[in-house]
Amino acid sequence: MLQVNNIKENKEEFIKGLKKRNFEAESILEEVLQLDEKRRATQVKLDDILAESNRLSKEIGMMFKNGEHQKANLIKEKTGNLKEDSKALSEELSETILKLETLLYTIPNVPHESVPAGTSEDDNEEIFKEGDVPVLAEGSLPHWELAKKYDIIDFELGNKVTGAGFPVYKGKGARLQRALITYFLDKAIDAGYTEYQLPLMINEASGLGTGQLPDKEGQMYHVTADDLYMIPTAEVPMTNMYRDRLLTDKDFPIACTGYTPCFRREAGSYGAHVRGLNRLHQFDKVELVRIEKPEDSYAALDNMVEHIKDILADLKLPYRILRLCGGDLGFTAALTYDFEVFSTAQDRWLEISSVSNFETFQANRLKLRYKNKEGKKELVHTLNGSALALPRVLAGILENYQTEDGIKVPDVLVPYTGFDLID
């Protein structure tokens, strides 16, 4: 959520920045400022009335004490009118604040100056590429056929037990999945991240805090009886651990990691591009979350990018990094880098990670601040990244490492799997 004071001070810059998202902001930002002005004016009136009411109450007490009962009763009638006025102003103030917050929730984050304008993923900028795409033998298979051939993932069984998009991993497939999770966590811990095991459901306040609500409500599984939501990513509970916190210098840097299953309805996702592991309703992911002072956040973002590059170099998977354009940027992000691995058998790039800096956008909702050296309270910057989401990493390994004898296991994973070939 944008800060009203920042909107007031940087209105024209915000209008220009939000145009990169194809979001026409001028009228809505003006409405925000008008509502904020009304809120301030109403608050002043209410404060004046409450102050007058308190002053008269003290006078009445003194009059009764001095035996001036008739005079006290006359003033008492006036305090009754003031109470009616204060009640009406309190209701008006609450209504104005609600309108203001509701409006602010509809405005996306302002993109970083480096974000290119654009309307879709076609306008994203490739900024890095590494690894040679392997030349596969004739008759090489996509991962969903390899999974069936080697009996390591059962999509039909998952459909029977739950529904489409809930695969069952088995045998060496389950062990490879577990190996990837442990390897990703070990890499994060070695890099200084603290591991957490997190709840798989969140309340509404947590969804609002990190921006999943109300923006992505339709993509989340809602447990209506308890008004809880299945997490779409570990980012949500992990970042919300710090909701309503006031940090100090000694708390930084904050670097968290955690493995969780993730749940997404993926409504409206159909077609060949969602086959197999390409798009699921339940999938595993190791997440990174950083909370930084504003002056340190972009160095932290670069550090997260290098961390993921190091993992992909270990796995020897061909990949590229994209800087997302305004039209493809997530609602809460100021800057996002997407990592994509090349799926050789499908002859296409598959997204495996997004690394984002949200600047103060989430922190404003979370009421997450720190006390700087001058003793002033300031909003922090929040960041997160997948390191990594497993389904498409696994798809890339199965397809790029397939041979006539079976599927080789990347060398870095062999100590975790206990085997070097799926056959």
Domain CATH number, residue 12: 1.10.287.40
- Is 353 a known ligand-binding residue? yes
264 marked as binding residue:
yes
For 144-169, what is each residue's pLDDT tens digit? Answer: 999 999 999 999 999 999 999 999 99
The pLDDT-based confidence of 80 (bands split at 50, 70, 90) is confident
392 in a labelled binding site: no
pLDDT computed for residue 135 by the predictor? 86
Q: pLDDT-based confidence at 309, cuts 50/70/90? A: very high
Same domain, 321 and 380: yes
Q: What is the pTM of this model?
A: 0.92
321-367 pLDDT, tens digit per residue, is: 999 999 999 999 999 999 999 998 888 999 999 999 999 999 999 99
Q: Give the chain's domain count.
A: 2
354 known member of a binding site? yes
Angle, alpha carbons 255-329-201 (nearest 5°): 50
- Other beta carbons within 10 Å of 67: 9
Q: Provide the pLDDT confidence category of residue 269 given band limits of 50, 70 and 90.
A: low
Residue 113 in domain: no
Does 127 lie in the same domain as 96?
no
Domain CATH code at residue 358 = 3.30.930.10
| Mean pLDDT of the region 215-236 | 93
Nearest to 317 by CA among 180, 419, 421: 180
In a domain, 313, yes or no: yes
- Is 265 marked as binding a ligand? yes
Say how far apart CA 330 and CA 40 lie, in whole Å.
32
Region 228-236: mean pLDDT is 97
What is the per-residue pLDDT for 193? 98
Q: Is the model's pLDDT at 268 over the cut of 70? A: no
In the three-class reduction of DSSP (H, G, I as helix; E, B as strand; rest coil), residue 227 is classed as: coil
Q: Are 234 and 260 in contact (CB under 8 A)?
A: yes
Q: What radius of gyration, in Å, describes the C-alpha atoms of the chain?
A: 27
Decide if 177 is inside a domain: yes
Query: With bands split at pLDDT 50, 70 and 90, how would you rate the model's confidence at 71?
Result: confident
Contact 345, 334 (CB under 8 A): no
229 with 284, same domain: the answer is: yes
More confident call, 76 vs 281? 281
Residue 190 has pLDDT above 70, yes or no: yes
Q: Is residue 114 part of a domain?
A: no
Residue 109 placed within a domain: no
Q: Which of residues 37, 69, 104 is at a domain's end?
A: 104
Element spanning 288, H or E? strand 282-292
Same domain flag for 195 and 287 = yes
Q: What is the pLDDT of residue 311?
A: 98
| 87 shares its domain with 163 | no
Q: Are residues 123 and 53 both part of a single domain?
A: no
Mean pLDDT, residues 76-99: 90
Extract the runs of DSSP E, i.e. beta strands, from 329-420: 335-343, 348-359, 369-371, 377-379, 381-389, 407-408
Domain extent, residue 149, equals 119-420
Considering the domain architecture, whether residues 74 and 186 belong to the same structural domain is answered as no
Going along 162-265, which residue ranges are E strands? 168-169, 194-195, 201-202, 222-223, 228-230, 246-247, 254-263
Q: Does residue 126 sit in the same domain as residue 97?
A: no
- 150 and 76 in one domain? no
- Domain limit, last residue, from 70, 104, 138: 104
40 is in an annotated binding site: no
200 & 88 share domain: no
- Same domain? For 64 and 133 the reply is no
90 known member of a binding site: no
Q: Assess if residue 371 is contained within a domain.
A: yes
How many whole angstroms separate alpha carbon 175 and alpha carbon 129?
A: 30
Give 374-399 pLDDT, tens digit per residue.
899 999 999 999 999 999 999 999 99
Query: Do both 142 and 32 map to the same domain?
Result: no
Which one of 79, 104, 129 terminates a domain?
Answer: 104
User: Contacts from 402-405 at CB under 8 Å and sequence distance 24+?
Assistant: 402/136, 402/140, 402/141, 402/146, 402/345, 403/137, 404/137
Known binding residue 356? Answer is no
The CB density around residue 219, as the number of other CB atoms within 10 Å, is: 15
378 appears as a binding residue in the annotation: no
Query: Is the per-residue pLDDT at 28 higher than 70?
Result: yes
Residue 195, annotated as binding a ligand: no
Q: Is residue 362 part of a domain?
A: yes
The answer to the question of residue 112 being in a domain is no
